Structure 1
């Protein structure tokens, strides 16, 4: 993906049927009930029914999703940590 100076995360939803996004870096997975996107603000999970990724332009960081959108959930996006002992992982 071509990096711009600074990507801005943008999310516009119309009537819970059309979602337009900016700041999209990657698509982790998608099916008709769930779409997982990596955005500049974390991982975004979109759940619903009959979801369809209509437009995806990762070079621009943009995506359009249509369908019956039920929920949008963000989770923090962290780089993978090195594996260590179970005790060491508890205190990170």
Structure 2
């Protein structure tokens, strides 16, 4: 999404709080698209948010209020737009790092 598109929409506040790479709190979540012990994909008002790590599990899930809390060792996280899978986004990122 371009910055202009984000500014023109009146989305509620969206925050991502990471503490010590082990506790992640996200608000403004619309849905949990997929999850396992290594990866979560959350749909937010600002696109999909992929969280990768080790021993990940849900601590709090309240989609009515748009809140998700995840515990575990977090390696990375990033946003991607609809139509692009988390794997495609990660592949693009890593290919740029190791050229």
Inter-partner Cα distance in structure 1 for 2:12 and 2:63: 12
Q: Once superposed, what is the RMSD of the aligned Cα atoms? A: 1.4
Structure label with greater radius of gyration: 1
In structure 2, list runs of 5 or more residues that go unmatched: 1-9, 84-99
Does residue 76 of structure 1 match 2:77?
A: no
Asked if the contact 1:32/1:52 (under 8 Å) is kept, the reply is yes
In structure 1, list runs of 5 or more residues that go unmatched: 79-92
Instruction: Kindly tell me the number of residue pairs found equivalent between the two proteins.
Output: 74
Q: Deviations for 1:28-61, whole angstroms, at most 9, x for unmatched residues?
A: 1100000000011100000000001111100000
**Structure with the higher helix share, 1 or 2:** 2
Inter-partner Cα distance in structure 2 for 1:27 and 1:7: 18
TM-score normalised by L of structure 2: 0.70
The 1:74/1:6 distance shift into structure 2, 3 A limit, reads closer
TM-score normalised by L of structure 1: 0.76
Give the equivalent residue in structure 2 for 1:45.
50
**Cα deviation, residue 73, structure 1:** 1.3
Inter-partner Cα distance in structure 1 for 2:21 and 2:31: 22
Runs of 4+ residues over 3 Å off in structure 1: none
Does residue 9 of structure 1 match 2:8?
A: no
